[in-house]
Amino acid sequence: MSLLTVGTVAFDAIETPFGKTDKIVGGAATYIAWSASYFSKQVNIVSVIGDDFDMNELDLLKNTDAKSKSRGKIDTQGVEVKKGEKSFFWSGKYHLDMNSRDTLITDLNVLADFNPIIPNEYKASDILLLGNIDPALQLKVIDQIPVRPKLVVMDTMNFWMDIAWDNLMKVIAKIDVLAINDAEARQLSKEYSLVKAAKKILTMGPEFLIIKKGEHGALLFHENNVFFAPALPLEDVFDPTGAGDTFAGGFCGFLDKTRDISFENMKRAIIYGSAMASFCVEKFGTERLKNLTHKEIEDRVREFIDLVQFDIEIAD
């Protein structure tokens, strides 16, 4: 009942049509941890930050379980703090459609020579979620874990397809679930049809492929099966930053909690992940993910059920 994730813990500065932020705490592992803490008993983070980081935010992460008995614990001993260095910083500006954005600044800082070290206490984690970082580092993480976790999930992006193809292929061959967006699935497979793309990607290693389509939902492919989960139509999408990571955190957290990695249960996990993502976008950064109640999450899941429920009886 524990989840290990490796990814960025960082500063973001975000501009959307609805407003802009100064430097706020972001990073894939941050979103993943907040989201998963509603499901997993224990979330272990491996990352790197500079000593410019907002340590109060790190304390908040470490104290999720103090807030509510039903929240898991987030362990941050694997977050290396580099003295005299600066944390990874990303700044972006979203277009009106909220589906596309311009990156304004990417300061790698501590990330430039990140060397992930997995603490011994983390090595028996049940699920490993490889956040979107250099595939060479993802490989280093896998190599440090003596007994393969029950499930290895990987997030990546087009950037690594462009510059680190060979290492990317090596990681993909070792994982169970790959989560990428539709454009990335096309780039990875060199197929335009997502059905054809999925077939091809499922021969590269993973048994499950999640294709994320943002406001258009997500597809789960496994063998000859396909499942589609919509995104919830929202009155306002305030800030999409971290939605994909929040989805992945909820997805893995739910699988960890329920200890069931069947296709049927992955469908449920996708709904829970989508519900978590629908909260994420309602406020800037991780704000909305910090103090949710299980009642709010269940109510949101019920909205997904209502959204797609229909009743057709076909005579056999």
Binds its own copies by CB under 8 A, chosen from 56, 190, 192, 223: 192
Give the pair of three-digit tokens for residue 231: 């995104």
Does residue 223 belong to the site contacting its own copies (CB under 8 A)?
no
Ranges within 58-117 binding its own copies (CB under 8 A): 96-97
Helices (DSSP H) in the chain: which residue ranges?
A: 28-36, 55-62, 64-67, 135-143, 158-163, 165-172, 182-189, 194-201, 243-258, 263-280, 294-308
Does residue 228 belong to the site contacting its own copies (CB under 8 A)?
yes
Q: Considering only 69-77, 150-158, 265-273, 278-286, which stretch makes contact with its own copies by CB under 8 A?
A: 265-273
Q: The tokens 């999925």 sit on which residue?
A: 198
For the CB of residue 1, give the shortest distance to its own copies in the complex, in Å: 20
Packing angle of the helix pair 243-258, 28-36 (nearest 10 deg): 40
Does residue 213 belong to the site contacting its own copies (CB under 8 A)?
yes
Q: Which amino acid is at 124?
A: A
Q: Considering only 50-58, 130-138, 242-250, 266-274, which stretch makes contact with its own copies by CB under 8 A?
A: 266-274
Does residue 267 belong to the site contacting its own copies (CB under 8 A)?
yes
The site string for its own copies over 235-254 (x = CB under 8 A, - otherwise) reads: xxx-----------------
Residue 231 is given by DSSP the state P
Q: How far is CA 25 from CA 10, 57, 133, 239, 292, in A?
A: 6, 7, 18, 14, 18
- Sites of contact with its own copies (CB under 8 A): 96-97, 192-196, 213, 216-217, 219, 225-230, 233-237, 264, 267-268, 271, 298, 301-302, 305-308, 310-312, 314
